[in-house]
């Protein structure tokens, strides 16, 4: 694994390359995605049937073929190995407990002159969840997307997932049953995003779309934003590890590889103040690579998008990591909580050597749908509020409008909006 030193003459250029890790050629896929969206919008199911035949290698005959029978979900759940079923329930309970703490509250405030101001929080009517199912199926993503919607109070949840060769993933079906989801459709890619955004004869239009996906899914979400809300435009998975000389090199190495095995575009970056640790980690990475089943994927990810950076001090290391704004950030230092206040940008922060990133993927409780590619500077993890909306509450008494109405009318006149001003002034003409 390549090692960079912040004191190198060409370090700035090398680091700029790391910062651009999430750049993808959206221009090339845009015409394809736009055409898919157009076809779904104009033709509905008939376009869906064509796209499924082309991309997933099976041909739906009618609308029912698009849907997964809830009885199959129940059967998949009942057939689960007991230990796997227990693990699924443990994950469900922990994720639900964490997200229940995120629930925003409606509130009302009363002023002395009779003004009433407040906020009303309500869930969206229908949420659409996209769950990947191409190279691999991710039941954990179903839990992470469905549970916040359930906690938010969404009554109608729609799931779309690609099913290559018309073979749904059994564990995903079991997770759907556990979440009491009735509407699961066998469609993926940009087609699924368009179908949920605009609706077809079978798939209902939703209010918000969440869930990870490839470049076609991400681009489609970007284009339908505004027609519906979305969680974020996420890219390939990534991990940043901040470590000092006290870190365990084996732990650091395998944690870097845990993200690299997602796909070739994933990035794994260690920033440390210890040259000795840097060399040990590079050695351990090579050792683990020899035994990993997804060796080719991991090797390409590490070679093209991985790096070990040796910084002069912890302050510089933290500054560099804040610029990277990683999706996942592990802190392996003598006192990781001491560094926590200095971290400004990260999707999820894992503190201490016994908190590997994969524990967050499955069982810890916080959401694993996280901002990537520097977007942790302005995006948050998927949470309950993605499935809710806020309405402002305003009520003025006669006294209240006389107290501040003149100022409102003056501002309206200043902006040249005569009817706005008159709307207030006509009320001021009435006696208190």
Lowest mean pLDDT of 231-240, 276-285, 385-394, name the range. Answer: 231-240
Average pLDDT of 92-96?
A: 98
Residue 260's pLDDT band (boundaries 50, 70, 90)?
very high
Which pLDDT belongs to residue 142? 97
Q: In the predicted model, is pLDDT for residue 169 greater than 60?
A: yes
pLDDT value of position 26: 81
Mean per-residue pLDDT of the chain: 95
pLDDT over 80 at 24, yes or no: no
Percent of the residues in the chain that have a pLDDT greater than 90, as a whole number = 94
Domains defined along the chain, listed by start: 3-24+235-364 (3.40.50.1980), 26-230 (3.40.50.1980), 396-428 (no CATH)
**pLDDT given for residue 20 in this prediction:** 87
Where is average pLDDT lowest: 67-76, 89-98, 132-141, 275-284?
132-141
Secondary structure (H, E, C), the chain: CCEEECCCCCHHHHHHHHHCCCCCCHHHHHHHHHHHHHHHHHHCHHHHHHHHHHHCCCCCCCHHHHECCHHHHHHHHHCCCHHHHHHHHHHHHHHHHHHHCCCCCCEEEECCCCCEEEEEEEECCEEEEECCCCCCCCHHHHHHHHHHHHHHCCCEEEEECCCHHHCCCHHHHHHHHHCCCCEEECCCHHHHHHHHHHCCCCCCCCCEEECCCCHHHHHHHHHHECCEEECCCCCCCEEEEEECCCCCHHHHHHHHHHHHCCCCCCEEEEEECCHHHHHHHHHHHHHHHCCCCCHHHHHHHHHHHEEEEECCCHHHHHHHHHHHCCCEEEEECCCHHHHHHHCCCCCEEEECCCCCHHHHHHCCCCCCCCCCCCHHHCCCCCCHHHHEEEEEEEECCHHHHHHHHHHHHHHHHHCCCHHHHHHHHHHHCCCC
pLDDT computed for residue 134 by the predictor: 58
Query: Once rounded to an integer, what is the mean pLDDT over residues 210-234?
Result: 95
Residue 148 has what pLDDT? 98
- pTM beyond 0.85: the answer is yes
pLDDT value at residue 77: 97
Instruction: Report residue 27's pLDDT band, with 50, 70 and 90 as the boundaries.
Output: confident
Catalytic residues: 327-328
pLDDT in tens, 106-162: 999 999 999 999 999 999 999 999 999 855 668 999 999 999 999 999 999 999 999
**Residue 418 predicted with pLDDT over 60:** yes
259-263, 286-290, 379-383: which range is least confident on average?
259-263
Helix pair angle (189-198, 26-43), 10° resolution: 50
How many Cβ atoms sit within 10 Å of the Cβ of residue 382?
27
């Amino acid at each position: 694994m390549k090692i960079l030193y912040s004191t190198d003459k060409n370090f700035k250029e090398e680091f700029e390359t790391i910062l651009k890790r999430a750049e993808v050629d959206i221009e090339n896929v845009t015409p394809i995605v736009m055409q898919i969206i157009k076809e779904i919008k104009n033709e509905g199911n008939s376009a869906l049937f064509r796209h499924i035949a082309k991309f997933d290698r099976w041909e739906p005959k009618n609308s029912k073929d698009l849907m997964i029978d809830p009885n199959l979900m129940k059967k998949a759940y009942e057939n689960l190995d007991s230990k796997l079923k227990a693990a699924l329930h443990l994950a469900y309970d922990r994720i639900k407990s964490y997200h229940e703490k995120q629930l925003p509250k409606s509130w009302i405030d009363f002023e002395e002159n009779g003004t009433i101001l407040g906020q009303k929080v309500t869930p969206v009517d229908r949420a659409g969840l996209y769950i990947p199912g191409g190279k691999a199926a991710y039941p954990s993503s179903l839990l992470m997307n469905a549970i916040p919607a359930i906690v938010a109070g969404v009554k109608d949840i729609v799931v779309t997932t690609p099913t290559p060769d018309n073979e749904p993933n059994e564990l995903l079906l079991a997770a759907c049953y556990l979440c009491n989801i009735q509407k699961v459709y066998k469609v993926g890619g940009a087609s699924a995003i368009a179908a949920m955004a605009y609706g077809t004869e079978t798939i209902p239009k939703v209010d918000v779309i969440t869930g990870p996906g490839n470049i076609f899914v991400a681009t489609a979400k970007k284009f339908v934003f505004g027609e519906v809300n979305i969680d974020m435009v996420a890219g390939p998975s990534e991990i940043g590890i901040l470590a000092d000389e006290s870190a365990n090199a084996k732990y650091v190495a395998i944690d870097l590889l845990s993200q690299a095995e997602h796909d070739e575009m994933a990035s794994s970056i260690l920033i440390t103040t210890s040259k000795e640790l840097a060399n040990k980690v590079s050695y351990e990475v090579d050792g683990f690579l020899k035994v990993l089943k997804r060796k080719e994927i991991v090797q390409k990810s590490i070679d093209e998008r991985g790096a070990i950076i040796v910084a002069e001090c912890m302050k510089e290391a933290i500054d560099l990591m804040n610029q990277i704004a990683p999706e996942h950030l592990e802190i392996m230092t003598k006192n990781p909580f001491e560094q926590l206040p200095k971290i400004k940008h990260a999707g999820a922060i894992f503190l201490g050597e016994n908190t590997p990133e994969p524990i967050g993927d499955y069982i810890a409780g916080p959401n694993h749908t996280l901002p990537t590619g520097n977007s942790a500077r302005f995006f948050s993890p998927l949470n309950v509020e993605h499935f809710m909306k806020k309405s402002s509450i305003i009520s003025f008494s006669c006294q209240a409008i006389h107290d501040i109405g003149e100022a409102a009318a003056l501002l309206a006149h200043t902006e040249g909006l005569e009817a706005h001003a008159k709307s207030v002034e006509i009320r001021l003409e009435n006696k208190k």
